[in-house]
Each structure stands twice: as structure tokens, then as C-alpha cells.
């Protein structure tokens, strides 16, 4: 499979495949905030010494406060991607109902564990009928949001059969009110959180799993003594405590997303979903359009399972917006 089909962010692959494309490339292939949190100065001790328990607890506490979760229910990790792969080794369900389409690594991880995976557009219909019910909220790439009340009912049904509800909230920082973080620690509920997308620092590799104590203990043993780097803990603690930046960023992302919508609609594309960090468009000429944009040095996300869909992230500045609009108008 081509690197760009497996994930976005394979800019090195695109530069090799399209050596004559104009530079700098406009990378719109990921749903990552193009205006990252201002890191500032990081204490030298964060780089020079092994991460301390105090630093871990400070980051954990700041994250718990920011997302409205009980601190005791939160386990930090080097990104949510690793947690997606580790989770099946801990709860080991035999049957999994998985929202589809969604982030592809969920299906890959559950199938690799030997589970019988049912991919469905209506995962909540399987609540109480499978060992694990897995969905992203908001969903990637469609942007679909399940209401808290719906998820609460699904959790009740899953708990009745001693099954799990697994909710990937990688994009929940965009709309905190829909998060289940306040319920974290409840039996049968697992929540995954990502730092890199909303805060624009995906390379930092910071994420978390929220769940009941026994699950956290099992995963903690797998992650080891120093699961998160010192710099990641320092930056995470600072960013999660900065509520003013978070509120301003939500407003900024929404404003730029509205401008992106105008560009896409003016180009005659059918806007079918997304979030304030990416938009999903549909066109019968998606593959030709993807290739044309690549030749113009613009990298957007395509999908092997849906050849008529493209996911397009937020342009970082007016020049990137202009280049995208110009390439779409050809």
C-alpha cells in the first residue's frame, strides 16, 4: 500500500513521487492544527534527566483539569497510536463492532489480535451485542458526532454483558461538551485522547487512556517506568493549563475552517463532513484531483476504500489558501 494511503503526513514520499512540484509543499494531509502551541523555553533538566514522577503527575493533573476528567482515571502514554495497538492485548474481546469509515489503525489492531471485527456505519446498533464497541467521537474522517446521551445508553448496554465501550476522542478538544471524560474510571468504558492534533505538536508523541483502575494497571506495566519523555511532560503540562490559548484556538480554527469551506464550495466540491481541523469532500474525480493537487505541491488525504473522497486540512496562511484555490480552479 502506498504510504499516503495508509496515513497522511507522508510528505517525504510525496516529494519523491512528485519531484517537479513547486515548493514549499502545502501539506493539508493531516488533521493537525497548523498553528501549534507556543512551546517556549523548556527546562534543561527535561532533556538531561530521566522523567520524574513529579513531572508525570503535573502533566497528568493539568490534562485531567483541562478535559474535565478524574485524575485517577488517566494514564499518560507516548501518543494514542501506541495505546490503540496495546489495548487489544489487555481486554482481548472476541467480537468487536467498529464504526466505519474511521481511523484505519483501529481495525488493523483489533484484527491483528484475532478478534472478529464487524465494520458498520451504525456502531451503536451493536451495543449490548458485542464484546467491544469502538468508535471515534468526533469521527475521522466524517466528523460525525455521537451525543453523550447516546453513548451513555450504549455504555449501559455494554456493561450489562460485561463488554467494553471504547471511544477515541482524538478530536474532542474541538468540542469539549461532547466528551465522556467526566465519566472516566467507570467500569467498561475506555477513552483515548490525543495531544498532538489540537495542540499542533504531533511530533511530541503525547496521549492518554482513561479507564478503570485494573485496566490502567495492566497498561502501565506494558508501558514501563518512563512512558513519556521529559520534554513532552513539560510542554503538555504547560499547554493543558493554558485555558486562554485553548479558547482562542477553537475560535481561530472555526474561522479558518469557514474560509476553507468557501474555497471548496466555490470549486464545485461536495462537502460531506469533517471537523474544524479538516474537511471531507466528495467528487467522482477525486483521484484525478488528488494527482493534480500533488503536481501543484499540495498534499491532501485520499482513501483506498473510498476513491471518491478527499480529506483536506486547514491551510496555514493566506498564501496556502490562495495556492489551494488556484489549483482547485484549474
**Domain definitions of the chain by residue range:** 3-36+245-328, 44-241
Per-residue pLDDT at 1: 46
Per-residue pLDDT at 85: 97
User: Where would I find the beta strands (DSSP E) of the chain?
Assistant: 26-27, 74-77, 95-99, 116-120, 132-136, 164-168, 189-194, 207-210, 270-275, 278-282, 298-299, 301-302, 309-313
Under the banding of pLDDT at 50, 70 and 90, the label for residue 279 is: very high
Fold of 44-241: 3.40.640
Under the banding of pLDDT at 50, 70 and 90, the label for residue 112 is: very high
Name the burial class of residue 147, with classes exposed (0-12), middle (13-18) and buried (19+) by CB atoms within 10 angstroms of its CB. Answer: exposed
Q: Are 193 and 68 a contacting pair, CB within 8 Å? A: no
Per-residue pLDDT at 17: 95
Q: Are 71 and 60 a contacting pair, CB within 8 Å? A: yes
Using a pLDDT cut of 90, give the percent of the chain over it: 96
Per-residue pLDDT at 9: 87
Per-residue pLDDT at 148: 96
C-alpha cell at position 61: 493533573
Residue 2: pLDDT over 70? no
Mean local confidence (pLDDT), 209-230? 97
**Residue 78: helix, strand or coil by DSSP?**
coil
pLDDT in tens, 49-89: 999 999 999 999 999 999 999 999 999 999 999 999 999 99
Nearest Cα to 232, choosing from 209, 199, 184?
Answer: 199
Residue 3: pLDDT over 80? no
CA 172/CA 14 separation, integer angstroms: 29
Residue 133: pLDDT over 50? yes
Residue 233: pLDDT over 50? yes
∠ Cα 82 17 29 (to 5°): 45
Check whether domain 3-36+245-328 has CATH 3.90.1150.10, yes or no:
yes
Question: Given the DSSP bridges, would you call strands 116-120 and 95-99 parallel, antiparallel or unpaired?
Answer: parallel
Mean local confidence (pLDDT), 265-273? 97
pLDDT in tens, 295-321: 999 999 999 989 999 999 999 999 999
- The pTM of the full predicted model, rounded to 2 decimals, is 0.96
Mean local confidence (pLDDT), 110-122? 97
Per-residue pLDDT at 8: 83
Per-residue pLDDT at 6: 63
Average pLDDT of the residues of the chain: 96
Amino acid at each position: 500500500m502506498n504510504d499516503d494511503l495508509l496515513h497522511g503526513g507522508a510528505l517525504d514520499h510525496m516529494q519523491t513521487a512528485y519531484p517537479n512540484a513547486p515548493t514549499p509543499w502545502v501539506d493539508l494531509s493531516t488533521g493537525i492544527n497548523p498553528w501549534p502551541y507556543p512551546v517556549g523555553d523548556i527546562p534543561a533538566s527535561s532533556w538531561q534527566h530521566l522523567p520524574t514522577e513529579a513531572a508525570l503527575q503535573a502533566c497528568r493533573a493539568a490534562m485531567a483539569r483541562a478535559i474535565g476528567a478524574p485524575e485517577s482515571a488517566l494514564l499518560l502514554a507516548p501518543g494514542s497510536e501506541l495505546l490503540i495497538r496495546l489495548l487489544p492485548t489487555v481486554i482481548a474481546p472476541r467480537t468487536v463492532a467498529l464504526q466505519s469509515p474511521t481511523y484505519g489503525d483501529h481495525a488493523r489492531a483489533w484484527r491483528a489480535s484475532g478478534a472478529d471485527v464487524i465494520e458498520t456505519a451504525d456502531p451503536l446498533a451493536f451495543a449490548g451485542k458485542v464484546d467491544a464497541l469502538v468508535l471515534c467521537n468526533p469521527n475521522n474522517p466524517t466528523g460525525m458526532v455521537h451525543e453523550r446521551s447516546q453513548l451513555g445508553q450504549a455504555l449501559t448496554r455494554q456493561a450489562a454483558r460485561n463488554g467494553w465501550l471504547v471511544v477515541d476522542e482524538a478530536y474532542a478538544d474541538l468540542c469539549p461538551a461532547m466528551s465522556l471524560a467526566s465519566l472516566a474510571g467507570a467500569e467498561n468504558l475506555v477513552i483515548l485522547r490525543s495531544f498532538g492534533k489540537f495542540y499542533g505538536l504531533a511530533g511530541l508523541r503525547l496521549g492518554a487512556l482513561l479507564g478503570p483502575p485494573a485496566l490502567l494497571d495492566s497498561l502501565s506495566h506494558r508501558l514501563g517506568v518512563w512512558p513519556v519523555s521529559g520534554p513532552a511532560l513539560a510542554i503538555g503540562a504547560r499547554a493543558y493549563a493554558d485555558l486562554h490559548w485553548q479558547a482562542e484556538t477553537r475560535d481561530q480554527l472555526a474561522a479558518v475552517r469557514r474560509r476553507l469551506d468557501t474555497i471548496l464550495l466555490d470549486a464545485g466540491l461536495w462537502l460531506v463532513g469533517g471537523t474544524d481541523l479538516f474537511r471531507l469532500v466528495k467528487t467522482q474525480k477525486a483521484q484525478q484531483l488528488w494527482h493534480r493537487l500533488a503536481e501543484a505541491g499540495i498534499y491532501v488525504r485520499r482513501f483506498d476504500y473510498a476513491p471518491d473522497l478527499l480529506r483536506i486540512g486547514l491551510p496555514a496562511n493566506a498564501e496556502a489558501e490562495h495556492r489551494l484555490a488556484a489549483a482547485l480552479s484549474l
